[in-house]
Amino acid sequence: MDILLQGLLLGGLYCLFALGQSLMFGVMRLTNTAQGDFIVLAAFGAIALASLVAMHPALIALAMLPIAFGAGYLLQRGVLNATLGRDPMPSLVVTFGLAIVIQNALLELFSADPRSLDSGGLSTQSLAIADTAVGVLPLVIFLTALGATAALQWLFQRTTLGLSFRAVSDDREIAELMGLDARKVYALATGIAFVLIALAGVLQALRTTVSPSDGPLLLLFAFEAVIIGGMGSFWGTFAGAMLLGLTQQIGFRLDPGWGIWFGHLVFLLVLVVRPQGLFPKTRG
């Protein structure tokens, strides 16, 4: 039971790492190789904000959301829209370049020393669930991931904006003939993805220390969760993150050095047996 609970709680964090990636791929077919570095950038942004203004972590997270949305919107309109097309290489190269810029900028501003965000005692609180102690902060992270996944699914299935996302994803040319501005729709999708990235960054900084070099590892976890679940599928991403977290916890329980390796093995197994993922995106 302890392995199951801890695995699911860890999977909640991986889900937040991956949802923005899943959204951007689902709408634009864009694989953001700077995903992990943007999460680290958001974490350091929250840490810098906390050093300037004494606020509760929840207020810091709320303050970060509109900033993240605006940054994502402008990045897509000003940079990433120009890389979209049938060839995925330009977007991969540009986002890889952004990752390098972010890492070096953070090193210059904050040095290589790991830092964290003061949780106000939240990280030390726990609850008893099924005779197992469960941390309050990991539980908050899991519930946030669950709520964000449900909100994204509702947005896509029940709103006009979601219909626009699905239309440009299915056929951009026809969507534009029907009056949609695909560039604006893409920018809105990226803005929402960056809101999720900001949430992940703040919660990661609350949960543990972060350093400028953490981005590639976070990207790997996000990418594995998305691939396991199915590219562009939100509930698939959630399920993939849960499976990844659970297998890592099993590995950690067997030997502290095996956890990450077990997750990689599951990822490779899914690629071999079901390369489209466990729950691939369905049209319509």
For the stretch 245-268, pLDDT in tens is 999 999 888 887 788 888 889 999
Please give the backbone phi and psi of residue 132, each rounded to the nearest 5 degrees, phi first: -125, 135
For the chain, give the percent of residues with pLDDT over 70.
98
Whether 44 shows a pLDDT value over 50: the answer reads yes
Segment 231-242 shows an average pLDDT of 89
From the list 260, 3, 33, 24, the residue with the least C-alpha distance to 152 is 24
Give the other-Cβ count within 10 Å of 37's Cβ. 28
pLDDT of 42 strictly over 90: yes
Output phi, psi for 127, to 5 deg.
Answer: -125, 155
| Dihedral over Cα of 235, 21, 163, 144: its sign | positive
- DSSP designation for 159: S
Residue predicted with more confidence, 55 or 248: 248
Per-residue pLDDT at 136 exceeds 60: yes
What is the amino acid identity at position 253? Answer: R
CA-to-CA distance for 177 and 8, rounded, in angstroms? 44
Q: How many CB atoms lie within 10 A of CB 161?
A: 14
pLDDT at position 239: 93
Q: Is the pLDDT of residue 120 over 80?
A: no
Single-letter code of the amino acid located at 179? G
The pTM of the full predicted model, rounded to 2 decimals, is 0.92
- 3-state SS of the chain is CHHHHHHHHHHHHHHHHHHHHHHHHHHHCCCCCCHHHHHHHHHHHHHHHHHHCCCCHHHHHHHHHHHHHHHHHHHHHHCHHHHCCCCCHHHHHHHHHHHHHHHHHHHHHHCCCCECCCCCCHHHCEEEECCEEEEHHHHHHHHHHHHHHHHHHHHHHHCHHHHHHHHHHHCHHHHHHCCCCHHHHHHHHHHHHHHHHHHHHHHHHHHCCECHHHHHHHHHHHHHHHHHHCCCCHHHHHHHHHHHHHHHHHHHHHCCCCHHHHHHHHHHHHHHHCCCCCCCCCCC
Task: Identify the pLDDT of residue 284.
Answer: 42
Q: What is the mean pLDDT of the chain?
A: 89
pLDDT band at 243 (very low <50, low <70, confident <90, very high): very high
Mean pLDDT value across residues 177-182: 86
What are residue 282's DSSP bridge partners? none
